[in-house]
Chain A
Amino acid sequence: MTGQVLQRPFERWLAYAFLLIAGLIMTFPFIYMILASLKTSSEVVQVPPRLLPETLQLGNYLEVINIVPLGTQLVNTVIVTAGVVLGWVITSVLAGYAFARLNFPGRDLLFFLYLGTLMVPFAVIIVPMFKIMVAFGWVNKLTALIVPWIFTAYGTFLLRQFFMGIPKDLEEAAMIDGASRWGILFRVVMPLARPAMATLATFGFLYAWNSFLWPLIIISDPSRKVVSQGLIDLQALYAVRVDLIMAGSVLAVLPTLVVFLFAQRYFIEGVATTGLAGR
């Protein structure tokens, strides 16, 4: 904790007051969302609004899972997210290690070309990607939401930087003992890279869980949709049932909040050290 020190108590209180108000603006909407999800459909649009529900309408959650079908869509989202996160970590560890430690012709050129892909907006490849999915027969399949998105220049860059910071002595010692490059990667380097892999996994999680434009284009079968799409359908079909829309939103937000609670360090360190989100 560097920086200036607030000596005067007045300044200190002012700072706390400001932080508290800002904290309230950031979190009150979520509290309001949870409370609304537990109200009846008339309570939720009542004027003036009452903060607490008369009786807890836990049935809203059951109803929302069945009508859209948000339950199936949550499972789809979990499958897609798990697949993308796993893919990100595997491809980034392999490519990151090759770029960091191995000598091969074309290394630097390939690396810079790969980083260059970050410059291209997703919108540019969206139409041909759709055509390719049609050609592969992947339209309306979860495969289309996983396989194309497991390659990440951001993740490769992150792990390459991390691997470059590991002392070479460890690998050289293992090499003298006759270990192969693959053996070294799996037994020496990867155990050390757990924090970097965790950071990458958290970003992969956020990226996959919140992806929206691509599923919108490639999935139209309600039983294959992801939760973001389900919420949009809910809003379109049941616009008057704000209680259900809020219950669905809570279900979409809750898993990310739980993961954030447990992996907070990796989220924040990830943003702070690399200053990049996995987009």
Chain B
Amino acid sequence: MTKQAALASSGTARKVSSKQLREIIDAYSMLLPTILGVLIFFAIPLAISLYLSFTNARISTPVSAATFVGLTNYGNVFKDSNFYLALRNTLIFSAATLVLSILPAVVLAVLLNEKIRGQAFFRALFFIPVVASVVAISLLWRYLLNLDFGFVNYAMSLVGLPRIPWLTSPDWALLSVILVFSWKTVGYNMVIFLAGLQGISRQLYEAASIDGATRWQQFTRITMPMLSPTTFFILITTLINCLQIFDVPYALGYGRSTTIGPADSMLTVVPLLYREGFISDHMGYASSLAWVLFIMIMGITFLQFRISNRWVNYE
């Protein structure tokens, strides 16, 4: 309490009344669990993580026993062919997922926003994959995409298409990760788009149709610009999530060996980090990988904000 009182008096020059003091004490007692939690489980780990990235830390040795190795780990990241493979896979995955989880979401949201029966029903239907366990649906898709007995290849054979080695060929494996993740995410994006659409005033469309605008013109001149803040939000959050993807490639791609997908074709940055840190026991190296990823995410997000004022339309 004395510490809080001291904080209060240093923060405000004027004399603190007992009522104000009471409020400060209440506030800090309400925040106490959060402050302690963030310190122990976030702030301190963050600092240790930065430190470890300059050491040769191991699983079994305590943090204090790690030897300082300078920038070696960071140098190794950029010499590691696995890192470039993971980076390439992560970027391809992210770019493709942006398209495949956002475009269908816009179309579905626009359709649902019409005066259509069963809007709530369809909305709930599309949301089911969002709430389902990621590992469970990944295993489900492992079954559906199986080369020999999977339903997808069977359905394709019915319309005369060839069988595809979705999960067993390095050429197709990453596409499978993209399809499964997009399938899971599209309903989530759709709900956000639908909320954005419902915020657009109906009068805009009425005025436009009186002026003789076609449906397509209404979409490109009203819907698209009015929806751009929503689109921007979804782009930012989807990309941040994609760059950190772990569970779908891991659950779809792990097998008897430690590779993620055939010839590591599903390996993205976070699974690589997990493998380096917790299987190969290179914790220092894993920490430096994490910081490279962090800086990359910050950089890409910053870039998106810089570009956004060219196309995002705030009222």
Contacts and interface: CB of A to CB of B under 8 A. Distances in A.
Interface string A81-101: 000000000110011011000
24 contacts: A12-B116, A19-B111, A19-B122, A23-B122, A33-B143, A44-B149, A47-B149, A102-B27, A121-B294, A126-B277, A132-B44, A150-B37, A151-B37, A181-B26, A185-B30, A212-B134, A212-B250, A228-B134, A228-B135, A231-B251, A232-B254, A248-B139, A259-B131, A275-B237
Interface string B109-149: 01111111001001111111101111111011111100011
B45 interface: yes
A36 B33 CA distance: 46
Given A36-B143, A156-B34, A272-B191, A104 B200 contact: no
A127 B11 CA distance: 37
B183 interface: yes
B38 A117 contact: yes
Given A26-B128, A49-B149, A106-B7, A213 B26 contact: no
A23 to B, nearest CB: 5
Interface of A: 1-6, 12, 15-16, 18-19, 22-23, 25-27, 29-30, 32-33, 36, 44-49, 90-91, 94-95, 97-98, 102-107, 110, 114, 117, 119-132, 135, 147-151, 156, 180-182, 185, 206, 209-210, 212-213, 216-217, 227-228, 231-232, 235-236, 242, 245-246, 248-250, 252-253, 256-257, 259-260, 264, 267-268, 271-273, 275-277, 279
A271 B131 CA distance: 12
B143 A245 contact: yes
A182 B26 contact: yes
A272 B189 CA distance: 9
Nearest to B192: A275
Contact of B27 (A104, A126, A253): A104
B85 interface: no
A128 B39 CA distance: 13
A104 B31 CA distance: 11
A127 B49 contact: yes
A209 B137 CA distance: 14
A89 B68 CA distance: 41
B67 to A, nearest CB: 15
B115 A6 contact: yes
Given A123-B294, A249-B136, 6 more contacts: A6-B114, A97-B30, A125-B42, A132-B48, A151-B41, A156-B34
- Which one of A2, A91, A103 has the highest number of Cβ atoms from chain B below 10 Å of its Cβ? A2
Nearest to B113: A3
Given A104-B24, A151-B34, A268 B123 contact: yes
Contacts of B233: 275
A271 B270 contact: no
B165 interface: no
Given A124-B294, A235-B142, A249-B139, A4 B46 contact: no
